[in-house]
Amino acid sequence: MNAGHLFYGSSVFLMVMGVFIALTGKHLIKILLGIDLFDVGLNLLIISFGYVNGGTAPIFSRYPHVFKNVVDPVPQALVLTAIVIGVAEIAMGLAIVMRIKEKFGTCNISKLKELKW
Amino acid sequence: MVSPILVIALSLFFAFVIPLLGMLSKKLPRWVPPISILVNLLILLSNMDKISGGAMLITTAGIKPPIAINLAIDRFGFLFALLIQTVGFLLSIYYLAQDTKDERFYMLFLLNILGASGIVMTGDLFNSFVFLEILEISSFGLVAVQKDKKSLEGAFKYMMIGAIGSSLYLLGIIVLYLSTGSLNMADIARLMPNIPDSIKLFAGLLFLIGIGVEVELFPLNAWAPDAYEGAQDSISTQLSSIISKAGIYLAARIFFTIFNGFYALEVVLYLGIITFIIAELAALMQKNVKRMLAYSSIGQMGLLLFVFALISKRADIFIFTTIILLALNHAFGKGLLFLSLGALTGGTREYYIDSLKGSGKSNVLAGLLFTMGAFTILGMPFFFGFWSKISALISIMKAGYVYLIGLVLLVSLFEIYYYGRVIVNIFSGEGKAQKTGFIYASIMVIFALFIIAFGVWPHPVFSFAHKAAVALFERTTYITSIMGGM
């Protein structure tokens, strides 16, 4: 079996699970975890897009035969940035959840009912 | 003639200097955003005559595109950059008078302006994602800055939708990268004919979801009324005048320059008109004036997106000009409305229509400015909104949707009703005496002056908008000016 398919399948599974948790979760932290899972799944998916079966690290070397079969470095660079952004997003979310817990005394999203039209 | 990359570099520098200055003195940090944004404006204006036909290319690390990240500013992006920095400058002056104890607020504000101006200046798709995230994360913080129940709840809802939306935007970028092997906007636009339609559709829908959150497109706009209502008045101004305008720029850049008139824009056509009708109907039912303004804002964005999507029917320069005029009118008009509503309440955050009774009598200036803002959104003659609304109607007619003109005019009647109700209310009965500070009042007057000046003397704005529209319209010029003669 191709290792690539396994990567695609599992990362899409993570993404779907993340969205599911974010949509159905009642606890604010759980929702954040769902968003985080979605991000992780997406990052894995991007990395596996750049994966070449049996490829090595994309490091330039003096030995050309090593350089023949390398994985695509661009998705890895993108994912590094995306990971940092994801951390910032979750950190901001956790800060907001902390304030919500202080003000509302609860982390249950169905009890946040200040804004209703 | 200073490199526009300094707009981004200096804003970042100033943003991270703010906490250090905050250690020295509590009064110092509030002076940083006006200085930084003024410098940005000067840098942009010094480049004004260098940007002509195509895009002005600013490479980083001296490597030519498609490799490496580069900035590409054409007249279209330049106009939006000027709009963002001008509104940002006015707001930063407003914050000078505000008594905020936390200096991190100014940092978030500056990062927000940085993200928006980065989006309109970048020529790299992944870079636009990074700036989109800077914009989004800082606006979650700005919405929550009030630290009361409403603002926290609004910020969390915004975060939930924004986080998922921007991740899907990233997925769209990766799909395009896989099929073209490039991240440069111009390069991808050049290679676009080689991409199969199914992949185009997939990537386009992913982009649509990501950008749809920012531009408040139905059904991705559930966060918007809550965030607008929860945020303080100046932040609501920022949401409607800066953040959604950056989204409009991105939509135009991606769906027109890169996708070359994406055929799935027909989806936007219907979603835009649905957004327009539903939001205006929701605004009609509001007792809370701020929430009403939020729904009106969503409705205006719906109209804007509807006009934008008309390019899938007929690519016409006039339609592009209309998008720009609508965006400018909405930026200044809705900004003025939110600010003057804040002045009318006197900072009490009581937005119910009954509690506003008579406030226009005790604070005549704010009342008059609110009326002006309402008039420009309604499209009254002698206000800028008149010209943008007329252009919108002509665009709809040009694209062959004559029967929709009646619909737009009908919905405008609702607008007249709900704005009229508020205006009648604030000028009747007796209210408590309130005062508006000098800085606050002059900022609002400047917003109003823009609206009146553009309305009475529309020719310069029209020609400026037309030039910007031409820059957006001629996508081959954009591509060759970046990629060289290929």
Q: Does B285 touch chain A (CB under 8 A)?
A: yes
Residue B298 has pLDDT above 70, yes or no: yes
Within-domain flag for B368: yes
- B-chain residues within 8 Å CB-CB of A78? 126, 170, 174
Within-domain flag for A87: yes
Residue B88 tokens, joined: 């940002």
Q: CA of A64, closest CA in chain B: separation in Å?
A: 23
How much is the pLDDT for B257?
82
Q: Could you give the 3-state DSSP secondary structure of residue B73?
A: strand
For B366-407, how does the pLDDT look when each residue is reduced to its tens digit (9 = 90+)? 888 888 888 888 888 888 888 888 888 888 888 778 888 888
- A95: closest chain B residue by CA: B141
Q: Assign A104 a pLDDT band (cuts: 50, 70, 90).
A: confident
Residue B299 has pLDDT above 80, yes or no: yes
Residue B482 has pLDDT above 80, yes or no: no
For the residues B96-125, what does the mean pLDDT come to?
Answer: 85
Closest by CA position to B326, among listed B205, B445, B213, B215: B215
Q: CA of A78, closest CA in chain B: separation in Å?
A: 8
Q: Please tell me which of the candidates B149, B282, B286 has its beta carbon nearest to residue A114.
A: B149
Q: Could you give the 3-state DSSP secondary structure of residue B59?
A: strand
Within-domain flag for B29: no
Q: CA of B251, closest CA in chain A: separation in Å?
A: 21
Query: Residue A73 sits in which domain range?
Result: 3-111
How much is the pLDDT for A66?
59
Residue B73 has pLDDT above 60, yes or no: yes
Q: Do B164 and A112 touch (CB under 8 A)?
A: no
For residue B330, give every residue at least 6 positions away whose Cβ sits within 8 Å of its Cβ, in sequence order, or none.
B240, B241, B244, B245, B297, B300, B301, B304, B377
Start-end of H helices in B97-124: 104-121
CATH code for the domain of A20? 1.10.287.3510
Contact of B356 with B289, CB cutoff 8 Å: yes
How much is the pLDDT for B131?
92
Q: CA of B282, closest CA in chain A: separation in Å?
A: 9
Q: Rounded to whole angstroms, what are the CA distances from B57 to A27, B376, B466?
A: 48, 36, 21
pLDDT above 70 covers what percent of chain A?
85
For B154-211, how does the pLDDT look when each residue is reduced to its tens digit (9 = 90+)? 888 888 888 888 888 999 998 888 888 888 888 888 888 888 888 888 888 888 888 8
CA–CA dist B8, B23 (Å, integer): 24
For the residues B22-45, what does the mean pLDDT come to?
Answer: 85
Within-domain flag for A47: yes
Start-end of H helices in chain A: 3-24, 28-49, 64-67, 73-104
Q: Please tell me which of the candidates A46, A95, A115 has its beta carbon nearest to residue B174.
A: A46
- The DSSP-derived string for B119-171 is HHHB-BHHHHHHHHHHHHHHHHHHHHTT-SHHHHHHHHHHHHHHHHHHHHHHH
Q: Do A93 and B156 touch (CB under 8 A)?
A: yes
Residue B433 has pLDDT above 80, yes or no: no
- B-chain residues within 8 Å CB-CB of A93? 140, 156, 159, 163
CA B312: distance to chain centroid? 22
For the residues B265-292, what does the mean pLDDT come to?
Answer: 85
Q: Could you give the 3-state DSSP secondary structure of residue A114?
A: coil
pLDDT, averaged across chain B: 83
Q: Assign A65 a pLDDT band (cuts: 50, 70, 90).
A: low
CB atoms within 10 A of CB B405: 14
Within-domain flag for B65: no
- A-chain residues within 8 Å CB-CB of B151? none
Within-domain flag for B445: yes
How much is the pLDDT for A63?
66
How much is the pLDDT for A114?
65
For the residues A92-117, what does the mean pLDDT come to?
Answer: 79
Give how many domains chain B has, as a whole number: 1
Q: Assign B292 a pLDDT band (cuts: 50, 70, 90).
A: confident
Within-domain flag for A117: no
CB atoms within 10 A of CB B218: 22
Within-domain flag for B341: yes
Within-domain flag for A116: no
Residue B206 tokens, joined: 């992913």
For the residues A24-49, what does the mean pLDDT come to?
Answer: 88
Contact of B339 with B346, CB cutoff 8 Å: no
Q: Do A115 and B140 touch (CB under 8 A)?
A: no
Most A-contacting residue of B138, B145, B152 (CB-CB within 10 A), to test interface: B152
- A-chain residues within 8 Å CB-CB of B285? 117
CB atoms within 10 A of CB A63: 7
For the residues B112-129, what does the mean pLDDT come to?
Answer: 89
For the residues B429-440, what does the mean pLDDT come to?
Answer: 73
The more confident residue out of B275 and A65 is: B275
Query: Residue B306 sits in which domain range?
Result: 264-475
Residue B443 has pLDDT above 70, yes or no: yes
For the residues B279-293, what does the mean pLDDT come to?
Answer: 85
Give how many domains chain A has, as a whole number: 1
How much is the pLDDT for B424?
82
For the residues B106-134, what does the mean pLDDT come to?
Answer: 89
Q: Which residues does A contribute to its contact with B (CB < 8 Å)? A: 19, 22, 28, 31, 35, 38-39, 42, 45-46, 49, 74-75, 78, 81-82, 85, 88-89, 92-93, 95-97, 99-100, 103-104, 112, 114-115, 117
How much is the pLDDT for A2?
63
Contact of B453 with B238, CB cutoff 8 Å: no
For the residues B221-237, what does the mean pLDDT come to?
Answer: 81
CB atoms within 10 A of CB B483: 17
